[in-house]
Amino acid sequence: MEIIQISNLTKRFPMGKGEFTALKRIDLTFGKGEFAGLVGPSGSGKTTLLNIVGSLDVPSEGEALVLGNSIGKLNAKQAAKLRKENLGFIFQSYNLLQVHTVFENVEFPLLLLNLSASERKRMVMDALEWVGLTDKVKSKPPQLSGGECQRVAIARAMVKRPSLVLADEPTANLDAANSHNILKTMEKLNRELETTFLFATHDEKVISYLHRKIYLLDGKVDKDEVVTVN
């Protein structure tokens, strides 16, 4: 089943008296369980495309179907429902709640769903186990390293077992060892839970883990490369 179907998608932003075209007639399809990335230089349109897939923005022309939902046609409530039930987000800046514990940060997306406290606890502890942080449940983000913070963010993105995780430059604030660590974690979750991952990145370390690399250049798909794994 196709999880994402992008057809003839163009995105323009108002700029001064005119417009700037950030994405130009993009056609892309992603199936369930892919571990793929939008790669390319800064300004090539990676974040713009990821934001549309994440229903945080809408196409100017063309269509983005995400799990059967046409992104430009959803109202705010429908877009919020899609995000809350099916999507996980990982950002370069972690976006953790600083005064809350690791447990509370990971529990946060579950509060929007109709679950009992004991169900939430079990899901949070499972997610912390996936990222190797069960001993830090009571810590708060200021007491953690950058690598640990990003692992909390991964647990938060994964806790409800979303079908699709979107990760925008997830290693931007991490050193090499921590970058490899979180990439191995995400690869494992992709394999074991069949979660589809879509990255936006220009980090060579991330790129080396991707099973499919979509090179963007000036808002166009320059190359779409599937890596054959032996």
By CB under 6 A, is residue 31 in contact with ligand ADP? no
Q: How far is the CB of 18 from ligand ADP (least distance, A)?
A: 11
Least distance to ligand ADP from the beta carbon of 121, Å? 37
- Judged by CB under 6 A, which of 2, 8, 13, 73 binds ligand ADP? 13
Q: Does 20 bind ligand ADP (CB under 6 A)?
A: yes
Q: How far is the CB of 172 from Mg ion (least distance, A)?
A: 9
Site string for ligand ADP, 188-217 (x = CB under 6 A): ------------x-----------------
Please say whether the dihedral angle defined by the alpha carbons of residues 93, 99, 102 and 104, taken in this order, is positive or negative: negative
Give the residue, chosen from 9, 28, 34, 48, that forms a contact with ligand ADP under the rule CB under 6 A: 48
Q: Please tell me the number of Cα atoms within 13 Å of 181 on its side-chain side.
A: 17
Shortest Å, Cβ 46 to Mg ion: 5
Is 44 among the residues that bind Mg ion (CB under 5 A)?
no
Q: How far is the CB of 92 from ligand ADP (least distance, A)?
A: 10
Closer residue to ligand ADP (CB): 106 or 200: 200
Handedness of CA 16, 93, 59, 198 (dihedral sign): positive
Stretch that binds ligand ADP, among 40-48, 97-105, 204-212, 220-228 (CB under 6 A): 40-48
Minimum distance from residue 56 beta carbon to ligand ADP (Å): 11
- Choose from ligand ADP, Mg ion, none: what does 162 bind? Cβ within 5-8 Å by kind: none
Q: Which has the closest alpha carbon to 105: 68, 142, 70?
A: 142
Considering only residues 34, 40, 44, 47, which one is a binding residue for Mg ion as defined by CB under 5 A? Answer: 47
Tell me which residue has tokens 């808002």. Answer: 219
Q: Is 44 in the site for ligand ADP (CB under 6 A)?
A: yes
Half-sphere exposure for 156 (CA within 13 Å, toward CB): 27
The residues that touch ligand ADP, with contacts defined as CB under 6 A, are 13, 15, 20, 22, 40, 42-48, 200
The residues of the shown chain that bind Mg ion, judged by CB under 5 A, are 46-47
